[in-house]
């Protein structure tokens, strides 16, 4: 009689979104295609900083629990940050993934999830950090750019880099065309990185992330 196949427990993911949720959809599709055990992770909740967005609709169509934590519902950013940390912690995640989450988290959130909060950025960090990475790379005259998956720290796009993908800048590119090509690479890279972190485990040595 064949021995049963025992799959290791899937890691728990909370995904945070602010907009259309295409990175979230890429994760949903990858997990559905292989199964949580083979992928290494399952999404246990999707959170947002505002309601009525397509990212939350994607989560609801996939049958995932959702929550909204809006800055304007709290007296200070610190109170919002603590409330977001509480809302995420309620789902006991192993990893938190920013999938286009456009808010900067604070000390309370990082105290709970530092070293476990994964973000993407549409440039090859440490070049062109901040909200306009695509525009800044074009304006600088860079010939290549791309995307970075990194852990979040208390700076702006300064956390340890996990992986990067390169995108060539074409002479005819404007910001929109370039950003669309970056997003395609970004989605594939995020799905790959989150799966490897979940399946294999990792450690952070200074600024270097070592996936086991």
Residue 152 has pLDDT above 70, yes or no: yes
Dump pLDDT digits (tens) for 166-200: 999 999 999 999 999 999 999 999 999 999 999 99
- On whether residue 6 sits in a domain, the answer given is no
Dump pLDDT digits (tens) for 110-144: 999 999 999 999 999 999 999 999 999 999 999 99
- DSSP symbols for 96-142: EEESS--S---HHHHHHHTTTEEEEESS-TTSS-STTHHHHHHHHT-
**Domain CATH for 105:** 3.40.50.170
- On whether residue 1 sits in a domain, the answer given is no
Say how many domains are in the chain: 1
CA 158 to mean position of chain CA atoms: 15
211 among annotated binding-site residues: no
Q: Can you give the residue range of the structural domain that contains 82?
A: 11-202
200 among annotated binding-site residues: no
50 among annotated binding-site residues: no
Active site residue ranges? 121
- On whether residue 208 sits in a domain, the answer given is no
pTM: 0.94
- On whether residue 2 sits in a domain, the answer given is no
């Amino acid at each position: 009689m064949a021995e049963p196949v025992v799959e290791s427990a899937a890691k728990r993911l909370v995904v945070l979104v602010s907009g259309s949720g295409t990175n979230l959809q890429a994760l949903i599709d990858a997990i559905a295609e292989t199964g949580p055990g083979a992928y290494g992770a399952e999404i246990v909740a999707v959170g947002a900083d505002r309601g009525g967005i397509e990212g939350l609709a994607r989560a609801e169509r996939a049958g995932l629990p959702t929550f909204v934590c809006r800055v304007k519902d709290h007296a200070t950013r610190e109170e919002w940050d603590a409330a977001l940390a509480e809302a995420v912690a309620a789902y006991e995640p192993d990893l938190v993934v920013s999938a286009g989450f456009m808010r900067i988290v604070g000390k309370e959130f990082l105290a709970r999830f530092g070293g476990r909060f994964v973000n993407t950025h549409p440039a090859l960090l440490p070049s062109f950090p901040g909200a306009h990475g695509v525009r800044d790379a074009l304006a600088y005259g860079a010939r290549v750019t791309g995307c970075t998956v990194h852990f979040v720290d208390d700076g702006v796009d300064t956390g340890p880099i996990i992986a990067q993908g390169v995108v060539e800048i074409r002479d005819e590119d404007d910001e929109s065309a370039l950003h669309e090509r970056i997003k395609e690479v970004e989605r594939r890279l995020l799905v790959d990185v989150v799966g490897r972190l979940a399946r294999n485990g990792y450690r952070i040595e200074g600024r270097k992330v070592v996936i086991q």
